[in-house]
Amino acid sequence: MSFISTRSRYGLRFLIELSKRRNEGPVDLGSIAEDQAIPETYLAKLVVPLRNAGIIRSARGAKGGYELSRSPDDITVLEVVEVLEGRSSLLECTERPELCARSADCPTLPIWTGLEKAVHDYLKGVSVSDAAAPRAPDYAI
């Protein structure tokens, strides 16, 4: 059970919280960790790749914290998952067929490739602002 691990789940909840507290200036990690019941030291590590990816920006020092560096409409869940899981695929061989000697005529590869695409398309269609909406009906169907 690892494609959507706590990394993505915590991370997405963190971003939603940031999107709710836009225009408060930088929000400190501790307050989000607390009200989302996420271990602060663990969340602190998830924040690094998000910053590197340009999704959030940070301010150090007292009164520092994090804020979204883009509109939540422009942050897709796909991007968040890719950044936090370190990969975008459920399978190595769909992205790097050269890793498997059998890939050239593997009958199952097209199936997995299709599955990847289904996942990609879905996640690409949902943004952080969709997620932040109180009851978002569309993507749940």
Partner DNA sequence: TCTATTGATACTATACTGGTCCGGTTAGGA
Partner DNA sequence: TCCTAACCGGACCAGTATAGTATCAATAGA
Footprint on this chain of a second copy (rule: CB under 8 A): 1-4, 9, 12-13, 16, 37, 77, 87, 89-92, 102, 106-108, 110-115, 117-119, 121-123, 126, 130-134, 136, 139-141
Pick from DNA, a second copy, ligand SF4, none: which does 90 bind, CB < 5 to 8 A by kind? a second copy
Instruction: Assign 3-class secondary structure to the chain.
Output: CCCCCHHHHHHHHHHHHHHHCCCCCCECHHHHHHHHCCCHHHHHHHHHHHHHCCCEEEECCCCCEEEECCCHHHCEHHHHHHHHHCCCCCCHHHHCHHHCCCHHHCCCHHHHHHHHHHHHHHHHCCEHHHHHCCCCCHHHC
Task: Say whether residue 106 binds ligand SF4 (CB under 6 A).
Answer: yes
| 126: partner contacted, choices DNA, a second copy, ligand SF4, none (Cβ within 5-8 A by kind) | a second copy
Closer of 25 and 114 to ligand SF4 (Cβ)? 114
